[in-house]
Chains A and B, each alone.
Chain A
Amino acid sequence: MRGKAESERPAYEPGSRDDFDRLYRDSYLKIYRTLVAVLGDPAAAEDCAQDAFVLAFRAWSRWRPDAPAEAWLHRIAINTAVSYQRKANLRTIGVILRRLGRPGAGPDPAEVALDRDLSAALRTLPPKLRAALVLRHYHGYNNREIAAAIGVSERTVNKRLRIAGERMRILLGQDQKPLPT
């Protein structure tokens, strides 16, 4: 039993370059997708994912194996994305001011998405609520794992999931599409 559990969990050695490369290969796509959901912009998500791995690599020797490495990476990545979003909001204000009287910008990322309703609804949520929602409904984390990944208490996670669920239900409730099978 125990051997099976250990074999299921990839063992990483803090500070090992090879192990970090393996962690990168195993988790990059998950981190990237989470950040796409949080940021709503694939290019920004890729940029933040790379930055997150840079930060993780610098702290790799201090990583404690008592927490899953992927949750640890998610925590770094989500913090990076939240910081990026704040700076982007400030930049947006400046861009709007500079673009007064000029033609509009490129297409909205939500319009690039296949499920525009879902994408648009997600974009109405604050990044922290989006992160909690994606970790639960896409990655399948439970509240404790989300708390470890985001760095907040389980109570806070529960509250965020409740608020995010209520908003999404309102936004999508009248427009529930049948899922493509």
Chain B
Amino acid sequence: MTDQLGPDFDARLRAELDRLEGPTPLPSDARYSQPRTGYRRFGGMTPALVVAGAVAVLLVAASAVLGSPDPAVWVTTIENVTRVGPAGPSPSPVTSPNRQVNPTPRAEPSEAVEPSHESPEPSGGETHSQPVEPPEASATPSPEPAETPSPGSDGEHSGSESPAPSPSPSPSDS
């Protein structure tokens, strides 16, 4: 098949290509001996480049989300966010500013209780007349006399502590 081309073709092709006698470059001058150029030079630093790129993306994303490029602001924002979570119910004390001393979130129950043992505060006693609340309330208002009813925590367990608040109600009754 290909022999149809005959020996003449082989000879012509050989004559044409053999005249290309360009000097073979020395191995030291060959391209494979040359140092890599361009981006290939960074081929060995690929992991470091990936990490740097990821950090850069995180910084940009954090700046965009938190609205500031300052890491100190990020820390403050994160602290505020984490602080807001557990302190969520705390705003209730704000609603009753007259009880600044009482930081406990159970403001409403305390209102019901306070009239029971602290007559001077009329608001709670007048509005709420639930007799069941006082025992529980006796425990919650403990922060007001903060030091004395230290067993306030115990009062939560049972009504056994009910006698403790009893002394205080006596003046209120009177």
Residues of A bordering B, CB below 8 Å: 20-21, 24-25, 28-29, 32-33, 36-37, 42, 46, 50-51, 53-54, 56-58, 113-115, 118-119, 133-134, 136-138, 158, 161-162, 164-166, 168-169, 172, 176-177, 179-180
Contact = CB atoms under 8 A, between A and B. Distances in A.
A166 B1 CA distance: 8
B39 interface: no
Interface in B1-24: 1-2, 4-5, 8-22, 24
Contacts of B21: 29
A12 to B, nearest CB: 14
A29 B24 contact: yes
Given A25-B24, A46-B22, A138 B14 contact: yes
Contact of A136 (B2, B18, B20, B25): B2
A113 B27 CA distance: 28
- A contact face: mostly helix, strand, loop, or mixed: helix
Contacts of A164: 2
B32 A54 contact: yes
A115 B15 CA distance: 9
Interface of B: 1-2, 4-5, 8-22, 24-25, 27, 30-32
B22 A137 contact: no
Contacts of A133: 2, 13
Contacts of A20: 27, 32
A133 B16 CA distance: 14
B16 A114 contact: yes
A82 B119 CA distance: 101
Nearest to A162: B1
Contacts of A134: 13, 17
A33 B24 contact: no
A53 B30 contact: yes
Contact of B13 (A25, A137, A165): A137
Contacts of B12: 115, 118, 177, 179
A56 B20 CA distance: 23
A58 to B, nearest CB: 8
6 contacts: A36-B20, A37-B16, A113-B16, A138-B13, A138-B17, A172-B5
Contacts of A172: 5, 9
Given A25-B24, A113-B16, A165-B2, A137 B9 contact: yes
A119 B16 contact: yes
Given A42-B22, A119-B16, A179-B11, A137 B5 contact: yes
